[in-house]
Amino acid sequence: MEKMILSSFRAGIVAMYMDGTIAYINPIGKKILEGSPLKPGESIHDRAGENSFFRVLSESIAMNYLPTRLEVDLPGKDGERQFLGFTLSELKEGKKKIGICAFFKDLTHVEMAEENENLKQRLLLLGQMAAGLAHEIRNPIASIGVHCGILRSHISGDEKLKSSVGMISQEIGRVEYIIRECLNFVRPAELSIRTIVVDRIVEQVVQRIQAIHPGMEFRIDKPKDKRPAVEADEGLLEQAIANILINAAEACNGKGKVDITIRTARYFSDRVDLNRRIETILPASKEIEKEFVRISINDDGPGIPLEIQDRIFVPFFTTKKTGTGIGLPMAQKIVHVHGGILDLRSIPGKGTEFILKIPARQKSGG
């Protein structure tokens, strides 16, 4: 009966003896730790250097006071990043302490939900500001444009003035473009959901980018047995992938390699609420395991300097002379409105990898 209860528990459980030997791990615990599997009989001390979770488990054996609420970031399956929340307790036989027990959950869904909520709040504030600025800027810009037209009609013989007026007109067009891009970015996205075969969309986008950057080499690695599909807005998903591929091509100066890998991933969690508020979810809830499609876009460009990596998704931040700083934030927004997450890994001098993780099924899809 005890084994049956532990096996059906809705969190991962791992128990260790005082010498560090793994005594037990339940089925859901094995699934959560697929990227770093543990087996009964192994020593946690031998595995302590692999990730933060194992290190804490190893060190906890010598602790007199065990922390009750911890969160760690560790590598998951297929290079995923995984967020675990866990609590530790003593394992006793009568009054004698014989080991340590850890109860843990995959909080990756919680991290996604919190990122989505934070982005939603930022977009709301930015939208209010952008609407006011657009109104205030467009009127004087329109007036300047009218006066440029008047000047142009009166300086037909002065090439120097004509050049200056032409430059003013170009800058007016650029300001109007930035205003349109800003308003498009902050406008709420309306999704037209349908089932999309992901590799087909990726191949279409690659063909378009290849035509613009013929010096680039794109390689697509997709499952051979099953073609991953998602319920998503096709136009928006194409835009997100295109924005990232264009960014990769430009980072490589149009001459480089981009590896695109399409896979499926699963996460286990029954805490999908925001801000760590724990709410009751029925035991029969299907949310305990959710499938995502993972699209990895890895270029061999110069990488992103460490000091600016945390600003890459900030709207209007750009290191390009002609960029608006909207492409990557727009891709992030699109992924987030689908309930997914856009992650970044970059090593200066060794390239950059963007990882899109999108739920295979939307809530409305049943």
Across the range 67-92, mean pLDDT stands at: 73
237-241 CB contacts, 8 Å cutoff, 24+ apart: 237/196, 237/201, 237/334, 237/338, 237/358, 238/201, 238/204, 238/205, 239/330, 239/331, 239/334, 240/330, 240/331, 240/334, 240/335, 240/342, 240/356, 241/201, 241/202, 241/205, 241/295, 241/297, 241/331, 241/356
pTM: 0.58
Instruction: Give residue 105's pLDDT band: very low, low, confident or very high (50, 70, 90).
Output: confident
SS3 of residue 17 by DSSP: strand
| Tens of pLDDT, residues 324-355 | 677 888 898 888 888 888 888 888 888 999 99
DSSP code for 39: -
- The proportion of the chain whose per-residue pLDDT surpasses 70, expressed as a percent, equals 75
Q: What is the pLDDT of residue 366?
A: 40
Cβ–Cβ < 8 Å for 294, 275: no
144-153 CB contacts, 8 Å cutoff, 24+ apart: 144/168, 144/172, 145/169, 145/172, 148/172
Neighbours of 196 (CB within 10 A): 19
Q: What is the pLDDT of residue 260?
A: 96
Beta strands in the chain (DSSP E): 12-17, 22-25, 70-75, 81-93, 96-106, 193-197, 217-221, 229-233, 257-268, 289-299, 341-347, 351-359
